[in-house]
Structure 1
Amino acid sequence: MKLPKKVVAVASALAMVGLLTSCIGGAPEERAAISEFPEKWDEEITVDVFDGVANYMGIQEGWFGDLVKKKFNMKLNFIAPNVAGGGDTLYNTRVSAGNLGDLIVIDKGMKLDELVQGGLVLDSAPFYPAMTNVEKFDTAVTHLNEGKDGIFAFPTMMSSIKPTEPDGGVDPSFGPYLRWDLYKQLGYPELNTLEDVLPVLKQMQDLEPTAPNGAKVYALSLFKDWDSNGIVTAKQPAAFYGYEDMGFAVAKADGSDYQALLDDDSEYMRALKFYHEANKLGLIDPESTTQNYDTMFSKVQNGQVLFSWWPWLGQSAYNNDANTQAGKGFEIVPLKDMNVLTFGAEVYGGAQTFAIGSKAKDPERIAAFIDWLYSPEGRHANDGKVMAAAGPKGLTWELDDSGQPALTELGRKIFIEGDAEVPAEWGGGSFVDGGSQMNVSAVLPADIDKETGLPFSYRTWPTYQALVETPLSADWKAKMGGAPTTMDYLRDNDQLLVATGASYTTPTDSSEIQTLRKQVEPIVVQYSWKMVFAGTDAEFDQLKADMQEEAKGLGYDKVLEVDLERAKERNEEREKVAKEFG
């Protein structure tokens, strides 16, 4: 185990006399170092969990709450700013009161540093020797607490996977996903590049102009509630070619190319032109300018949309059992020149961290709970809410006669049919509703479970792959040369660009850059939408010129300079991590 040098010095010296010092609420308190946690906890406690990414307020119910109660005699009471509303109001109020929570899920970087400096999080060094599951990721723990005189936080989304390998399982983060059944009816036409998709989408829309609910079908349906530095859906096609944005900069994930968002030949402008041409062909839903993601998602569910930028949209919404058994559904359709962006396993962890509040009721028990989240049992259980890992062994999965992990009958109902009731001895209620409300994983579902030799994600298990074989997936695999998954196909055909998992944290804007950015962003968004729905090519070109001129007049170039520098810093960090760990 490699503790930070400062912690080693303090721990070694004070462990000899059996004491460690930590700061709780600004007051020093002697705390004995421990080497292992108790097997049971006699007194029931309720722990306030301030969770910056949770979408639930109140006591954790259901099977996960039951599991935590049995193991730790502890209830989790979630305090979620996402639910409370008001932006940072709840956070600021609790920080001002000097008690954010007993267990804290917070972004690393500025907010974490602010809490450490303010004495709102506990130095967990006394508990670290007992945290045998966390210590497997000691390099990341060391990195996260670098410059701090102690161990104040623990990283999330950890993995033993190399940072140059994808952090996912069967699908990349992005890709051109089309209604495969209609694509098949057209004879699987070859697509050399993005623009070749448009005539195929036109033919697909002509094949199925009306959805089962009687509504008109559009090849493309956009939405605007995720827009920020541009139209969010106009930034997605760039990912098919390995690009990602950094504010007003657009960078290829391998550092081979850097673009300005509003340059004539940028990937963003290419996407706007793509949508403009699509609209001229009658392929874009006219409600795109006013609808939100949820409205658009429901249209995909109803069969009113034929194209998806992400597997977690098209496949999640439309590929239900009835459709896939009928051979209908979304699958990735390869473009010959694509180089799909996906993200590597973060060597130093994801954006969120776990920390123990300085006024925690029972910090040792919370440390034991955090450590459990990194254990095989904790990994399977905590991911159950997002249905990435399989939930508790013995409930939703078990080892079959050949030693392979396989879903139980209950597990099949949950993960294939959508949900099921949990037995009373496991807490009862709906499995989905009773899953962990933390909304963050300590370890990636793609990480390997040493008991099975396979990823924690049940979707990658051979037993699951055989279970969910449908006419749709069988036809796609046959056409894709027998590739078992999308990720396998892209890997085998050298069409996957992995952005090394370097855990780069974007610096906070200066007040000047923040002001300029807020001036420019709405101009880019407004003009971009107008360009998509421009009546003629000449109007499109004029709107583009007007957007470029107005953006520059409001400080675009100054913000771009900052963003380009950050994009290059991110790439330098990736190169460094790839060299050290890849």
Structure 2
Amino acid sequence: MAGKKKRVAMSALFLAILIVVAGCNSGQSNNSSSSGNSAANTSASASSNADTNSATASDAPKEKVKISLFLGNGANTKFPIGIQTDPVAKIIEEKTGVQIEITRNPQKDVAAQVNTMLASGDLDDITYVAGDYSQDIAKNVTAAAKSGQIIPLDDLVAKYAPDIMNNPVLKARTEFNKKYASPDGQLWSITTYGGTTLETRPSDGIFIRWDLYKQLGYPQINNDDDLIKLLSDMKKLEPKTKEGKPVYGVGGWFGEGSGWGEALFRYGYAWSRGYYGYPDLVAYYDAVNRDLYAKNAITDTDSPYWNGLRFAYKLNQAGLLDPDSATQHYDQADEKLKNGQYLMFFSGWQLGEPANYFKSVGEEYKGYVALPAFQGHGNIQAMVNETSGYQYVISKNCKNPEAAMRLINFLSTPEGSRLVNSGVEGQTWEMKDGKPAYTDAYVQESQSTSDWESTNLQTGLSLYNLLSPWSGNVISPFDKAYFNLNMEPGYISKNYSDVEIDAMAHYGVQNLTDIYLNSAKTVMFINYDSLFQPMSDELKTAAANINSYAYKNEFKVIFAKNDDQFAKAQKSFLDGVAKFKPDEVYNYYKTEMAKAKPVMDPIINEAEKNYPFK
């Protein structure tokens, strides 16, 4: 099970490149001892001859190959430095002959860290490459190929990766990479952690204190004004926590600066309405219509951006916005959420934090559930990573590229994908009535711990899952269960909270996902911008100036004293931002989206056939 998600660069959330570089050092082992809802998801079965072609333990070389990994994916775990000896790493070593070595952990700004590594040539054998834009990541790979730092993979895949060659889905990814992620038509990267995934809960939604919502009689919430009234009524019911701390409707962390500091209204609000904000404020992705938002978001006052600002203004007017939002950082806001001081939040990955607090003070009956999407909007419930997952390339200096490809091939098998997502059979999971399921001991531990970093290091779960070609929400063709057994209905049902059980009863459904599938059009996040051509330097400068100007002026709008001041602040904002060429930046997005859609839409349409979306 994954631990708490860390902050990641918003613009690179769904596309990253893993690079196998800088010498896969071959060395003799020192003989050291060992110290993934009922809706159908993309099936990996499309389908492989994995059982007949997979490498076995007997195929592993007698000489061990040491490969260092830089898992700079905003990983939840701080690895011990050196050869990894967790149970999953030992099985990988047994199956492939590869010893996984960690030489460093990611810093807060992973993109800057990786750029420094690239500039200095100080790279691990497998290195994550980040960038401010999706196109920058591909650009780094292309540059590495052109400079001779990496080798083409066509022959290696043909000789040493039968589980890629014999799986139509994985083979299609290689063909896509040759055409759209290559400087010359050769294969330079292998896409990993792909597939189309369905979330149990919205990735971002309007998560409210359901126990208070129940006390108020489940009022119908149709728009932002209804929501603000609901939060006001909730605050009247619970103005303070059990420990006497003040309760607010919501909190921001504006002190973090442009981008992450604007998450409350720029990202969370937009996502909960079915929009995704691109790195530049002029453009939003409209997930309901699968296209660019039809107008320039920073100049259109009815855009997701301006509606987010207006919502924050109304929250402040109603006394619902935490007054510390203007200066506090994420860690401070997160601590308040953990302590039950916020009645609403947007990010689904924060759900477990207040639950632990309520449990610690004997208030398990309290908790949060996401409301269904407002009419005309959509819950972003699915993530499409058919072409934009993580990827490998292999370094020119790799002393044993055959072993590197054997490792990639093993993780392409159902066995390897289950291993890195759910751990070792017999330790964390076992076969029950012909289906894989977590052991009772692991389920008990997972329900009692809040220290997921230590648990993952002990079990090996979710440490290397981004190296698999399949995300955990994909169904294995071998046993028809999710690679990540967290997604299995039997496991999920054991972990529903009291408020989630009440919400299912209120909406008349048997599992949580159906609340969102039945209530409104459930939509996909699609990474169209992975195909965008890079911006010109002139447009990048203009976009950066727009973002900087917005951060310096949008809080004058949020903290306006009344509607007249709001209108004046808005007009001043619009007059000022006009000098930074916002329409030219928006036209870049419009042009690139028009070119990307004919390529991506057939792929997405094929993926959607596996889903009961409405």
Aligned to 2:489: 462
**Displacement after TM superposition at 1:207 (Å):** 1.2
Kindly indicate whether residue 212 of structure 2 is the aligned counterpart of residue 185 of structure 1.
no
In structure 2, how many angstroms separate the alpha carbons of the residues matched to 1:510 and 1:361? 38
Number of the residue aligned with 1:64: 88
Q: State the distance in 1 between where 2:105 and 2:455 align.
A: 28
Greater C-alpha Rg: 1
Aligned to 1:83: 107
Deviation, 1:177, is 0.8
| Residue aligning to 2:35 | none
User: Within the alignment, does 1:345 sit opposite 2:384 as a pair?
Assistant: yes
Change (3 A) 1:568 1:234: farther
Contact 1:405-1:461 within 8 A present in 2 as well: no
Aligned residues of 2:72 and 2:110 also touching (Cα < 8 A): no
Question: What residue number does 1:376 align with?
Answer: 414
Q: Which residue of 1 aligns with 2:317?
A: 280
Equivalent in the alignment of 1:124: 153
Question: 1:435 and 1:475, CA in 2 relative to 1: closer, same or farther beyond 3 A?
Answer: closer
3-state SS of paired residue (1:202): helix
Residues 462-541 of structure 1 aligned to structure 2 (within 5 Å): 462-485=489-512, 487-500=513-526, 504-541=530-567
Deviations 1:323-351 (A, max 9, x none): 7983211101235414223444322242x
CA distance in structure 2 between the partners assigned to 1:36 and 1:433 by the alignment: 22
Q: Which residue in the other structure is 1:141 paired with?
A: 174
1:191 shift after superposition:
0.7
Distance in 2, matches of 1:52 and 1:354, equals 13
SS at match of 1:151: coil
CA contact (8 A) 1:84 1:90 kept: no
The equivalent residue for 1:164 is none
Contact 1:221–1:296 (Cα < 8 Å) also in 2: yes
Which runs of no fewer than 5 residues in structure 1 stay unpaired? Answer: 1-23, 27-34, 162-166, 384-389
SS at match of 1:405: strand
Distance in structure 1 (CA, Å) of the matches to 2:489 and 2:110: 45
What does residue 395 of structure 1 align with? 427
Contact 2:456–2:462 (8 Å) recurs in 1? no
**What is the aligned partner in structure 2 of residue 18 from structure 1?**
none
CA contact (8 A) 1:72 1:365 kept: yes
Query: In 2, are the aligned partners of 1:404 and 1:452 still within 8 Å (CA)?
Result: yes
Could you tell me the percent identity over the aligned residues? 20
Q: CA deviation at 1:418?
A: 2.8
- Look up the match of 2:612: none
Report the counterpart of residue 250 of structure 1 in structure 2: 284
Does the aligned pair in 1 maintain the 2:253–2:261 contact within 8 Å? no
Aligned length, in residue pairs: 530
* 46-55 vs 281-290, greater mean Cα deviation: 46-55
d(CA) in 2 for partners of 1:566, 1:197:
36
Letter in 2 for 1:47: I
Cα distance in 2 for partners of 1:428, 1:219 equals 33
Counterpart in 2 of 1:409?
A: 440
Is 1:48 aligned to residue 78 of structure 2? Answer: no
State the one-letter code of the partner of 1:42. K
**TM-score (ref. length: structure 2):** 0.78
Gaps of 5+ in 2: 1-20, 24-52, 131-136, 609-614
- Are residue 563 (structure 1) and residue 583 (structure 2) matched? no
**CA displacement 1:450-484 (0-9 Å, x = unmatched):** 23322223233232133224432221110121240
Give 3-state SS (helix, strand or coil) of 1:217's partner. Answer: coil
> Could you say which residue in structure 1 is the equivalent of 2:191?
155
Q: Check the 8 A contact 2:380/2:524 in 1, yes or no.
A: yes
Map Cα deviations across residues 140-171 of structure 1 (whole Å, 9 max, x no partner). Answer: 01111235454321002222x5xxxxx23312
CA contact under 8 A between 1:47 and 1:103: conserved in structure 2?
A: yes
State how far apart, in whole Å, the 2-side matches of 1:483 and 1:429 are: 30
1:289-300 to 2 correspondence within 5 Å?
A: 289-300=326-337
Letter of the structure 1 residue corresponding to residue 60 of structure 2: K
Helix, strand or coil for the counterpart of 1:451?
Answer: coil
**1:186 deviation in Å?**
0.8
- Structure 2 CA distance for aligned equivalents of residues 170 and 42 of structure 1: 43
1:364 aligns with 2:409: no
Shift in CA distance, 571/293, structure 1 to aligned 2, threshold 3 Å? farther
CA distance in 2, matches of 1:396, 1:25: 34
Aligned with residue 553 of structure 1, among 560, 563, 579: 579
**Contact kept in structure 2, 1:516 and 1:556, CA below 8 Å:** yes
CA distance change for structure 1 residues 288 and 339 in 2, over 3 Å: closer, same or farther? same
- Kindly report which structure 2 residues correspond to 1:294-309, keeping only aligned pairs within 5 A, or say none: 294-309=331-346
CA distance in 2, matches of 1:222, 1:84: 20
Do structure 1's residue 172 and structure 2's residue 196 form an aligned pair?
no
**Distance change >3 Å, CA 469–CA 103, structure 1 → 2:** closer
**Alpha-carbon offset, residue 303 of structure 1:** 0.4
Cα distance change on mapping 1:278 and 1:86 into 2, 3 Å: closer
Report deviation, 1:518: 1.8
How do 1:8-23 residues align onto structure 2 when only pairs under 5 Å count?
A: none
2:98 to 57, 70, 74: 74
Q: Is the 8 A contact 2:144 2:150 kept in 1?
A: yes
Bigger mean CA offset, 328-337 vs 318-327 = 318-327
Read off the aligned partner of 1:266 and give its amino acid letter.
Answer: S
Per the TM alignment, residue 114 of structure 1 is displaced from its structure 2 partner at its CA by 1.0
State the AA in 2 paired with 1:307: M
* Structure 2 SS opposite 1:392: coil
Whether 1:103 and 2:126 are equivalent positions in the alignment is yes
| Partner Cα separation in structure 1 for residue 62 and residue 482 of structure 2 | 35
Paired AA for residue 535 in structure 2: D
Q: Report the residue type matching 1:471 in the other structure.
A: D
Secondary structure at the counterpart of residue 49 of structure 1: strand
Change (3 A) 1:366 1:25: closer
> Deviation of residue 581 (structure 1)?
5.5
2:457/2:463 contact within 8 Å kept: no
Q: TM-score, normalised by structure 1?
A: 0.82
CA contact (8 A) 1:54 1:437 kept: no
CA distance in 1, matches of 2:178, 2:500: 45
Contact 1:405 1:463 in 2 (8 A): no
Q: CA deviation at 1:357?
A: 1.5
Query: C-alpha separation between the residues in 2 aligned to 1:182 and 1:115?
Result: 55
Separation in 2, partners of 1:25, 1:175? 42
Q: Are 2:107 and 2:113, in contact at CA under 8 Å, matched by a contact in 1?
A: no
